[in-house]
Chain A
Amino acid sequence: DVKVTQSSRYLVKRTGEKVFLECVQDMDHENMFWYRQDPGLGLRLIYFSYDVKMKEKGDIPEGYSVSREKKERFSLILESASTNQTSMYLCASTRTSGYQETQYFGPGTRLLVL
């Protein structure tokens, strides 16, 4: 089974802090994704990566950056956390870029910015 893990289930940070969210997948997947999930807004794509050191902006990249130094690991960085970044963050991966590919999700990180 594919396993996608996220470094923390819950995080509490203060405004202005730099925050790192880590995601690791164990199935050699090419593509990895970061979403945020907010009530009534569904899932919104922040960034995705289709290869090591490659990244593309999603729908809401402002205030975020990402890093993919190794194939299995995709990090989301909040350069200066703000209260409007309080959310559930979900990481996902897919094996290839084919249309039929299923996204596999981690358990999520619930971030509270005070």
Chain B
Amino acid sequence: AQSVAQPEDQVNVAEGNPLTVKCTYSVSGNPYLFWYVQYPNRGLQFLLKYITGDNLVKGSYGFEAEFNKSQTSFHLKKPSALVSDSALYFCAVRDTANAGNNRKLIWGLGTSLAVNP
């Protein structure tokens, strides 16, 4: 079965330090991977996606993610965290198991990032 795992419910990091939010996946075929962010009391905003090509994908707000096929991971990173990065982060993968379901995303449960001043 296709799935996405975010192994950490919460990540705490000091402002100015690098941050990593982890995501691993299991899909049949090529993975199409996405990261979204949700600020308090807001809808989800798209950050970045991996479709094909370079393993390092750059996105909004200085975030990037590294696709690692051998480890089936797509970790979200930022070199220097800001307090304003504190939010809920979701990893998702396109459901490619069934042609009829290719519109759907399979979502991780989310990781709460807290950046401390």
Spell out A's residues near B (CB within 8 Å): 4, 31, 40-43, 45, 48, 50, 56, 58, 90, 92, 94, 97-100, 102-108, 110
Contact = CB atoms under 8 A, between A and B. Distances in A.
Contacts, number: 52
Please give me the 8 A-B residue pairs with the lowest Cβ-Cβ distance, nearest first: A105-B43, A42-B109, A105-B44, A99-B32, A43-B107, A107-B43, A100-B51, A97-B103
B45 interface: yes
B69 interface: no
Interface in B25-57: 32, 34, 36, 41-46, 49, 51
Contact of B46 (A40, A41, A102): A102
Contact of B105 (A4, A50, A103): A103
B104 A45 contact: yes
A97 B96 CA distance: 11
Given A42-B108, A105-B44, A108-B43, A31 B103 contact: yes
A99 B49 CA distance: 11
Given A42-B110, A99-B96, A104-B46, A58 B51 contact: no
A35 to B, nearest CB: 8
B70 interface: no
Interface string B87-107: 000100010100010111101
Given A48-B103, A104-B46, 8 more contacts: A4-B43, A42-B109, A42-B110, A94-B103, A100-B51, A103-B44, A103-B105, A106-B43
Nearest to B46: A102
Contact of B90 (A43, A50, A97, A108): A43
